[in-house]
Every structure is written in C-alpha cells, then in structure tokens.
Amino acid sequence: MKPYKTGSRQARVVEWFKANPDEELYSQDIAAKFGGHPYQVAVSFRPCVAAGLLSVRKEKRDEAGGVKFVYSAGPALGVA
C-alpha cells in the first residue's frame, strides 16, 4: 500500500523523483514547486521516507534557525 493518496502532493513529488532520480530538493524547493509550507513538507513526507520512497540525505540549519531537509531518491530506493 502506498503511503500517499493518488494526486496528492506526496504522489506528485514521488513521481517527480521517478523522472529525476539523481536530483535533490530541499523542503523549501518542494514547497515552492508543489505547494505548501516547508515545515509541512517535512511532516508530510515522513511516511514516504519510512516506506523507502524518498531519502533524507542531509539536514542543515538555515539562517533563521530552521532545519532544511534535502530529499532525494534513486535506484537503491526502488524509485527510479
């Protein structure tokens, strides 16, 4: 069972990573490209990360002290 609904932001992001498996997106990039707030992205993608559809490759603090998540995918995750 997929951890997201068809047509949802999660589904659109996973499909984007299928088409672009070697790319990385910060949570802010996902929010800008697919809608939503960067902090909502981090919460909403936990099921996709847990299912192995996306990977959080690194985190870093931004200037305001918030955490930036970098999502990626690839053949090892079964996404490509």
The answer as to whether 4 is a domain residue is no
The answer as to whether 3 is a domain residue is no
Q: Which residues fall within 8 angstroms of residue 16, CB to CB, at 6 or more apart?
A: 33, 34
pLDDT value of position 80:
39
* pLDDT tens digit sequence for 12-26: 988 888 888 888 888
pTM for this predicted structure: 0.72
At residue 79, does pLDDT exceed 50? no
**36 Cα distance to chain centroid:** 12
**Which amino acid is present at 10?**
Q
The answer as to whether 57 is a domain residue is yes
Domain carrying residue 48 = 23-77
Q: Is the pLDDT higher at 78 or at 55?
A: 55
The answer as to whether 29 is a domain residue is yes
Q: For the chain, how many structural domains are there in total?
A: 1
Identify the CATH number of the domain in which residue 66 sits: 1.10.10
The answer as to whether 17 is a domain residue is no
The answer as to whether 68 is a domain residue is yes
**Which amino acid is present at 20?**
N
The answer as to whether 12 is a domain residue is no
| Cβ contact 28:38 at 8 Å | yes
> Strands 67-72, 24-26: parallel, antiparallel or unpaired by DSSP?
antiparallel
